[in-house]
Chains A and B, each alone.
Chain A
């Protein structure tokens, strides 16, 4: 197996007496799409937060590309190559769609502390932002403020931001939550396309089993903050421990919803 791009070692976080993520040790490899599943409250989003840095780990390490990033602030982790799309839409609501992407491209180009040239004059950055908007088919709303966009388009923009970041590791937290089937398909196509086109590492928190079955190369199951299963989709879905983890949460729904 290749060298892991991202790995966690004994990653743990406690909130008071509650252990939300408990000694999780795992690796993620380039070109691999890993689905992270588990019942509500299993610690999936917290696990994501620990990796991308919104929460600092109580103990354990996150290593990206050989560099220990566990103590770095969120922005430094982004610069190191982590890109995250959030579960709840998390954009700049009063800025235009184009400006949302332009800001990402500008961050990527390290132009944020440019005090003197105007942002308008940096035409290469704007042009690149427009190309990315075209990729997600949002160019027709480029000049609209994000707050006026329908939910589905906002989710698309969320993915577009991730594409603009050009990260080494893509982290999607329930990218299709609250979307119509059509919209969800667009997003899933984008993710599948990403995976096919680039040798990137994709982490995906997802509830819908059919999505996982078609997209994932590997499934990691979290339950009560612990990693309880890890392996190829067919194997993991069949295992008793996963059935048990989902018990009480209507396994039928989880498997076919």
Chain B
């Protein structure tokens, strides 16, 4: 059963299975294990980034297609949900319609870019995606009437997903293990559940005959064509599928934040984060997205605080405390990432599972 859900692509390493199980349990029970606004927020972001990075892995790790437009598709989904919610009024129908429009729009955009540029050399496709993504980011910040410009848009979720909505008053007295049963909790489980389903869909896609063809294209495009696969069609299909999944992740992100803005969904920094997460986790494994995203977001959110605690603990040693000052957390994050790429050139997942 579990085999089937995981598309027969199990972690194939005890250490890796344990690690993935811990992450799964941690995310599934996050509101109960780590109650708190910040912790649950981090958990939700981890869920969404797992999907976003996994969909990018489908493209880069399996298909060997380098694209810099992944945040664009993420942003399309996020903005669609925000705009439908704003214009149709708060409601689940607006959310679902927004997510659907976003996915369709992202697919069309991906198909258009793919048709124009996937026939030619890989570097050209990468440049085109970069150009289109930058152009769209500029458009979004310029069309402030529609998109709210640099400020972005805040919108309202259905009442059931707001903190004011309470449930289970009679049955559980409104709390379970001291956690308030409110709309925010429901939103978390909406994000978690949808992310889980999207992740499993991605896992299935790469283990389907289609995914195997993508691997073949990554390995040897010329030969893939010669054994009868029309490479350009597969590449376009991969781009579209990955765009649609990224767009769904974007919709979830907008729902979670109740806000969209260029810096949270469209920025090039976000694109670099995605690449970094994938490289650290391990390309072409899908599970790499889980490990990478968890590690990355935990570091990003908690390294500074951890360093603060460390420096106050060791007191005032001249050079050391200056180096370990919480203000230097970005330096240490950079060093951590360089070390991890150096020690695990195939990513963490690639390191644990050696067999092909």
Residues of A within 8 A of B226 (CB): 52, 54, 74-75, 78, 84, 86, 90
Residues of A within 8 A of B207 (CB): 118-120
Asked if A119 contacts B209 (CB within 8 A), the reply is: yes
Asked if A92 contacts B219 (CB within 8 A), the reply is: yes
A116 vs B241: C-alpha distance in the bound complex, in angstroms? 13
What is the distance, in angstroms, from A115's C-beta to the closest C-beta of chain B? 5
**A192 within 8 A of partner (CB):** no
Asked if A75 contacts B223 (CB within 8 A), the reply is: no
Asked if B204 contacts A95 (CB within 8 A), the reply is: no
Asked if A92 contacts B223 (CB within 8 A), the reply is: yes
Residues A95 and B210 in contact in the complex (CB < 8 Å), given A113-B237, A118-B7: no
Residues A161 and B205 in contact in the complex (CB < 8 Å), given A112-B234, A114-B210: no
Asked if B209 contacts A111 (CB within 8 A), the reply is: yes
Residues of A within 8 A of B227 (CB): 78, 103-104, 107, 161, 165
**B94 within 8 A of partner (CB):** no
Residues of A within 8 A of B222 (CB): 54, 90
Asked if A78 contacts B228 (CB within 8 A), the reply is: yes
In-complex Cβ contact of A117 among B208, B225, B234 (8 A): B208
Asked if A75 contacts B219 (CB within 8 A), the reply is: no
0 or 1 for each of B209-242: is its CB under 8 Å from A? (1 = yes): 1111101100110111111111100100100010
Residues of B within 8 A of A165 (CB): 227-228
What is the distance, in angstroms, from A92's C-beta to the closest C-beta of chain B? 4
Residue of A nearest to B215 (CB): A95
Residues A112 and B229 in contact in the complex (CB < 8 Å), given A92-B216, A103-B216: yes
0 or 1 for each of A114-152: is its CB under 8 Å from B? (1 = yes): 111111111000000000000000000000010000000
**B356 within 8 A of partner (CB):** yes
**B24 within 8 A of partner (CB):** no
**A106 within 8 A of partner (CB):** yes
In-complex Cβ contact of A93 among B210, B219, B225, B229 (8 A): B219
What is the distance, in angstroms, from B235's C-beta to the closest C-beta of chain A? 12
A4 vs B193: C-alpha distance in the bound complex, in angstroms? 61
**A241 within 8 A of partner (CB):** no
**A3 within 8 A of partner (CB):** no
**A244 within 8 A of partner (CB):** no
Residues of B within 8 A of A84 (CB): 226
**A99 within 8 A of partner (CB):** yes
**B172 within 8 A of partner (CB):** no
Total contacting residues, chain B, CB less than 8 A = 30
Residues of B within 8 A of A190 (CB): none
Asked if B356 contacts A103 (CB within 8 A), the reply is: no
Residues of A within 8 A of B216 (CB): 92, 95, 103
In-complex Cβ contact of A120 among B8, B223, B237 (8 A): B8
**A79 within 8 A of partner (CB):** yes
**A91 within 8 A of partner (CB):** yes
In-complex Cβ contact of B208 among A52, A73, A96, A119 (8 A): A119
What is the distance, in angstroms, from A167's C-beta to the closest C-beta of chain B? 10
A114 vs B206: C-alpha distance in the bound complex, in angstroms? 11
In-complex Cβ contact of B213 among A73, A91, A112 (8 A): A112
Residues of A within 8 A of B210 (CB): 112-115
A134 vs B227: C-alpha distance in the bound complex, in angstroms? 20
What is the distance, in angstroms, from B166's C-beta to the closest C-beta of chain A? 40
Residues of B within 8 A of A94 (CB): 219, 356
What is the distance, in angstroms, from B302's C-beta to the closest C-beta of chain A? 36
What is the distance, in angstroms, from A197's C-beta to the closest C-beta of chain B? 21
In-complex Cβ contact of A114 among B208, B224, B229 (8 A): B208
Residue of A nearest to B232 (CB): A73
Asked if A103 contacts B213 (CB within 8 A), the reply is: yes
> Quick one: which of B180-220 are within 8 Å of A by CB?
204-205, 207-213, 215-216, 219-220
What is the distance, in angstroms, from B258's C-beta to the closest C-beta of chain A? 33
Residues of A within 8 A of B204 (CB): 115-116, 118
A86 vs B223: C-alpha distance in the bound complex, in angstroms? 9
Residue of A nearest to B231 (CB): A75
Residues A115 and B205 in contact in the complex (CB < 8 Å), given A75-B228, A95-B216, A95-B356: yes
Asked if B356 contacts A106 (CB within 8 A), the reply is: no
B9, B222, B226, B229 pick with most chain A CB within 10 angstroms: B226
Residues of A within 8 A of B213 (CB): 103, 106-107, 112
> Quick one: which of B31-63 are within 8 Å of A by CB?
none
What is the distance, in angstroms, from A172's C-beta to the closest C-beta of chain B? 14
**A76 within 8 A of partner (CB):** yes
**A29 within 8 A of partner (CB):** no
CB-defined A-B contacts under 8 Å, sample of 22: A73-B230, A74-B226, A75-B228, A76-B230, A95-B215, A96-B356, A103-B212, A103-B227, A104-B228, A107-B227, A107-B228, A114-B209, A114-B210, A115-B204, A115-B205, A116-B204, A116-B208, A118-B8, A118-B208, A119-B212, A120-B7, A161-B227
Residues in chain A within 8 A of chain B (CB atoms): 52, 54, 73-76, 78-79, 84, 86, 90-96, 99, 102-104, 106-108, 111-122, 145, 161, 165
The 10 closest A-B pairs by CB, nearest first: A92-B219, A78-B228, A107-B228, A120-B8, A114-B209, A75-B230, A74-B225, A111-B209, A112-B213, A118-B7
